[in-house]
């Protein structure tokens, strides 16, 4: 049996958890680099929000020619956020954890970039809207089935 649930079938539980997190006490680490320690999650959040610009809409609100290149560059900037977060606490273990996360992220990004490059060669464009339009009749998952399985497994 789990914890007490708030609301009907626990529907209000996420809101209750959010209020509880906002009312918790802030912990200030004396030995950390204060500015980088608190800015690294904000920078990571801003990078993830920047990726929402690339979603192709029917009305083409933002559609630029090198959107896939922008996607690859923004996700590779996330590596620096992990490294700064690990370094800024001035703890050897968090630095090692940050370096491990950086190594894992870079290794996954290489396979992601190569798989994306093969589909971009098929389209002959770096525009995300062209990527979307090309898949109206048949998805890339069916055209390039082995690459799709590699993408899902990595």
pLDDT digits 0-9 by tens, 66-98: 989 999 999 999 999 999 999 998 889 999 999
pTM over 0.85: no
Place of tokens 């529907």: 11
Say which residues have a Cβ less than 8 Å from residue 86's Cβ, sequence separation at least 6: 94, 95, 96, 97, 98, 99, 101
What's the confidence (pLDDT) of residue 1?
A: 47
pLDDT one-digit tens code per residue, 125-140: 998 888 888 888 888 8
Alpha helices in the chain, H assignment, sequence order: 13-22, 34-50, 67-88, 92-123, 128-134, 140-143, 145-153
Please report, rounded to a whole number, the percentage of residues in the chain having pLDDT higher than 90: 29
């Amino acid at each position: 049996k789990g914890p007490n649930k708030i609301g009907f079938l626990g529907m209000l539980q996420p809101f209750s958890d959010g209020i509880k997190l906002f009312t918790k006490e802030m912990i200030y680490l004396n030995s950390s680099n204060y500015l980088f320690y608190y800015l690294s999650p904000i920078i990571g959040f801003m990078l993830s929000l920047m990726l929402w610009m690339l979603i192709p809409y029917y009305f083409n609100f933002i559609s630029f020619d090198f959107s896939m290149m922008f996607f690859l560059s923004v996700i590779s900037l996330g590596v620096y956020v992990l490294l700064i977060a690990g370094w800024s606490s001035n703890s050897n273990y968090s630095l090692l954890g940050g370096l491990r996360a950086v190594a894992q992220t870079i290794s996954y990004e290489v396979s992601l970039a190569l798989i994306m490059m093969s589909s971009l060669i098929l389209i002959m464009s770096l525009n995300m809207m062209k990527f979307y339009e090309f898949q109206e009749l048949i998805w890339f998952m069916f055209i390039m089935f082995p690459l799709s399985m590699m993408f899902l497994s990595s």
